[in-house]
Amino acid sequence: LSSTIKVDDFTARLFRIYMQVLEEGLAQTVFLGINRSDYMFDCGGTAALRQIEINTIAASFGGLTSRTADVHRLVLNVLGKTEEASHLLPNNPAKGLALGIAKAWELYGSQRAVVMFLVEDVQRNIFDQRCVENELWNRNIRVVRKRFRDVFEQGSLDASRRLFVDGQEVAVVYYREGYVPQVYDQQNWEARLLLERSRAVKCPDIATQLAGTKKVQQELSRPGTLEKLLPGHPEAIARIRATFAGLYSLDEGEEGDRIAATAIADPDRFVLKPQREGGGNNLYGEELREVLEKIKDSPERTSYILMDKIKPQPALNYLLRAHSPLQVSKCISELGIFGVYVRQGQELVLNQAAGHLLRTKAIEHADGGVAAGVAVLDTPYLV
């Protein structure tokens, strides 16, 4: 991230907190990851699932998608399509995500401590979060919902760096907020630093959030990188690498100059990605060309990466969206696989898939997801 943090202030501030906590010494000994790796089926060249991105913070819709298959199964059964209904996979990511949080809470080692959902000031996806929350309450694990502002005003650390918010000890901080720069004023940055300095299990800790940046994803695709991370596992490396789309650095230098010129000449081949989460940030086509033309000779270009544009095969489907007529559309889908891991020190305690998410949208929408009102939740149908 050395080139990125020179030009991307948000990533740089996260990195400074990471370095400060590292220099002070980590109080956190249990680590929890809730990730979602997203794929599309690429029909350009060799047909295969290609990874779009990996989400390491606030990976959403694990709750709502736990209900989607049941809705579709009920509709098919009501229509007398019992055979078709049997082709829908059972799916309950909320249970799997809660399992990881519960294991981290248990390893933290205090029955009195709570799980804290760190949420937005204005919550637009609360029912998705409630599904995971209810799974925790069913395990007799207390859950509180707090904002950065609450942490700043009510949060403190004791001599052992245990985290207390409003007088309650916090075992696990589950971030459903904190991935876009707009939410961080000075008080919220101070709250984030307090959380990271604490002994509480952060999901994710700031190092894992940085590991989910587009720049790190691009660097992982470089020849030799996976071999360093997975020595002695050539088959696993081959399987992982087979999912990679072409990813290209825009760092200053000959290689970056060449790929920038290629994308300007043929922008429909690529997607320009900034170091941002939350959807709706990518650039395509003429907009991609205009931005690259503007920054091609500037260090600012290193805040982006380029990815080969995936060419999925459209399928006809109906999209049920609020305030939109029900009509058949040419659609494309994106498959997300949830994963959960828990580590205590160097010991890997839990590492498993936790379910899937399918989102479908009409082909005329290049970018934007469910929260933007463009895509809908869907269910895979096995044939």
Helix, strand, coil content of the chain in percent (nearest 5): 40, 25, 35
Q: Is 166 exposed, middle or buried (0-12, 13-18, 19+ CB in 10 A)?
A: middle
Residue 82 pLDDT more than 80?
yes
Task: Write down the pLDDT at residue 322.
Answer: 84
Q: Which of 146, 147, 197, 214 is catalytic?
A: 214
Rounded CA-CA distance 336/322 in Å is: 23
Task: Write down the pLDDT at residue 152.
Answer: 98
pLDDT digits (tens, 9 = 90+) for 270-316: 999 998 876 668 999 999 999 999 999 999 999 999 999 999 999 99
Q: Is 306 exposed, middle or buried (0-12, 13-18, 19+ CB in 10 A)?
A: buried
277 lies in some domain: no
* pLDDT band at residue 368 under the 50/70/90 scheme: low
Q: With pLDDT > 70 as the criterion, what percentage of the chain qualifies? A: 99
**What is the rounded average pLDDT for all residues in the chain?**
95
Residue 227 falls in the annotated catalytic set = no
Q: Which of 3, 35, 60, 333 is catalytic?
A: 60
Rounded CA-CA distance 122/260 in Å is: 39
* pLDDT band at residue 371 under the 50/70/90 scheme: confident
Residue 53 falls in the annotated catalytic set = yes
Residue 114 pLDDT more than 80?
yes
Is 106 annotated to bind a ligand? Reply is no
Task: Write down the pLDDT at residue 45.
Answer: 76
Residue 222 pLDDT more than 70?
yes
Residue 60 falls in the annotated catalytic set = yes
Residue 140 falls in the annotated catalytic set = no
Residue 378 pLDDT more than 90?
yes
Is 221 annotated to bind a ligand? Reply is no
Is 343 annotated to bind a ligand? Reply is no
Is 367 annotated to bind a ligand? Reply is yes
Short-list 146, 194, 198, CA closest to 174: 146
283 lies in some domain: no
Contact between 207 and 26 under an 8 Å Cβ cutoff? The reply is: no
Is 205 annotated to bind a ligand? Reply is no
Task: Write down the pLDDT at residue 71.
Answer: 95
pTM of the model: 0.94
Q: Which of 147, 199, 273, 301 is catalytic?
A: 273
258 lies in some domain: no
271 lies in some domain: no
Is 59 annotated to bind a ligand? Reply is yes
Task: Write down the pLDDT at residue 278.
Answer: 67
Average pLDDT over residues 207-213: 96
pLDDT digits (tens, 9 = 90+) for 124-158: 899 999 999 999 999 999 999 999 999 999 999 99
Highest mean pLDDT among 115-119, 247-251, 277-281: 115-119
* pLDDT band at residue 327 under the 50/70/90 scheme: confident
Q: Which of 192, 199, 202, 359 is catalytic?
A: 359
Task: Write down the pLDDT at residue 374.
Answer: 84
* pLDDT band at residue 383 under the 50/70/90 scheme: confident
Q: Among 9-13, 41-45, 331-335, which stretch is predicted with the lowest mean pLDDT? A: 41-45
By DSSP bridging, strand 328-344 and strand 163-165 are: unpaired
30 lies in some domain: yes
370 lies in some domain: yes
Task: Write down the pLDDT at residue 169.
Answer: 99
Residue 290 falls in the annotated catalytic set = no
Residue 25 pLDDT more than 90?
yes
Rounded CA-CA distance 203/32 in Å is: 5
Other CB atoms closer than 10 Å to residue 296's CB: what's the count? 16
Q: Among 30-34, 116-120, 121-125, 165-169, which stretch is predicted with the lowest mean pLDDT? A: 121-125
The total domain count for the chain is 1
Residue 178 pLDDT more than 70?
yes
Helix (H, G, I), strand (E, B) or coil at 209: helix
Short-list 181, 153, 147, CA closest to 167: 153
Residue 222 falls in the annotated catalytic set = no
Task: Write down the pLDDT at residue 279.
Answer: 67
Rounded CA-CA distance 205/196 in Å is: 7
pLDDT digits (tens, 9 = 90+) for 38-56: 999 999 878 899 999 999 9
Is 116 annotated to bind a ligand? Reply is no
Q: Which of 3, 37, 55, 303 is catalytic?
A: 55
Residue 59 pLDDT more than 80?
yes
Residue 95 falls in the annotated catalytic set = no
Domain around 113:
4-245+310-378
Q: Identify the CATH number of the domain in which residue 214 sits.
A: 3.40.50.1760
Tokens of 93: 């990511």
Is 155 annotated to bind a ligand? Reply is no
Is 280 annotated to bind a ligand? Reply is yes
Task: Write down the pLDDT at residue 214.
Answer: 93
272 lies in some domain: no
Q: Which of 53, 133, 135, 196 is catalytic?
A: 53
Is 277 annotated to bind a ligand? Reply is yes
299 lies in some domain: no
Angle at 201 between CA 196 and CA 348, to 5 degrees: 125
Task: Write down the pLDDT at residue 308.
Answer: 95
